[in-house]
């Protein structure tokens, strides 16, 4: 199974469309969205192509492919526009015998891990900075941000396939990668 991860759309229809093009190119089996769907947040600038209503329409068109969690910039009014659940603080996915703990990162985070077993996978968004590493025997991952990357990182997304997690830029470059064995 191939999963694609995106985070921190922040209302950018421009970058969401680019992410959905990559989703089609990657031929992923599912799209996991790590929160911050429509609002840009008070600390962020308006992203390119800010159009929250357009973001909702694009995502609703592929709702059956989406697994999602709520970000710190998401609210009940955002859920009213979306045809799939996204208000949970976390979800878990069973993937090739491993548990993937999926959250935005403003509660549990790489710095504040939940109870997991060695070899499990923890993935978050929130920081807008890509991560692919191991902490306390747990694989810790972050695909970065599709719309508002930080720390001079490119706009990016993540792919989990065949025991490898890769963060990719929209130009096709590998930003970070880790073998999950």
User: pLDDT tens for residues 116-161?
Assistant: 999 999 999 999 999 999 999 999 999 999 999 999 999 999 999 9
Q: How far, in Å, are 12, 48, 67, 119 from residue 102 at the CA level?
A: 22, 26, 9, 15
- Mean pLDDT calculated for residue range 57-79: 97
pLDDT exceeds cutoff 90 at 41 = no
pLDDT exceeds cutoff 90 at 92 = yes
Cβ contacts of 49 within 8 Å, gap of 6 or more: 12, 13, 14, 15, 17
Cβ neighbourhood burial of 9 (10 Å; 0-12, 13-18, 19+)? buried
Q: How far, in Å, are 29, 118, 135 from residue 138 at the CA level?
A: 24, 5, 5
pLDDT exceeds cutoff 90 at 34 = yes
pLDDT exceeds cutoff 90 at 18 = yes
pLDDT exceeds cutoff 90 at 115 = yes
- Structural domains in the chain, sorted by start: 3-90+143-179 (3.60.21.10)
Report the chain's mean pLDDT, rounded to a whole number.
97
Q: pTM for this structure?
A: 0.97
- Chain segment 67-76, per-residue pLDDT in tens: 999 999 999 9
Cβ neighbourhood burial of 74 (10 Å; 0-12, 13-18, 19+)? buried
CA dist., res. 62 & res. 124, Å (int): 22
């Amino acid at each position: 199974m191939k999963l694609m991860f995106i985070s921190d759309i922040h209302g950018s229809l421009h970058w969401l469309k680019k992410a959905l093009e990559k989703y089609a190119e990657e031929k992923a089996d599912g799209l996991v969205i790590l929160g911050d769907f429509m609002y840009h947040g008070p600390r962020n600038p308006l992203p390119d192509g800010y159009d929250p209503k357009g973001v909702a329409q694009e995502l609703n068109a592929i709702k059956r492919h989406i697994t999602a969690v709520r970000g710190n910039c998401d609210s009940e009014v955002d859920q009213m526009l979306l045809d799939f659940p996204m208000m949970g603080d976390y979800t878990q996915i069973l993937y090739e015998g491993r548990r993937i703990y999926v959250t935005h990162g403003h509660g549990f985070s790489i710095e504040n891990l939940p109870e997991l077993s060695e070899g499990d996978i923890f993935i978050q968004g929130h920081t807008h900075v890509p991560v692919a590493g191991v902490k306390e025997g747990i694989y810790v991952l972050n695909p970065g941000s599709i719309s508002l990357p930080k720390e001079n990182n490119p706009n990016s997304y993540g792919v989990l396939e065949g025991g490898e997690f890769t963060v990719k830029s929209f130009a096709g470059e590998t930003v970070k990668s880790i073998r999950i064995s």
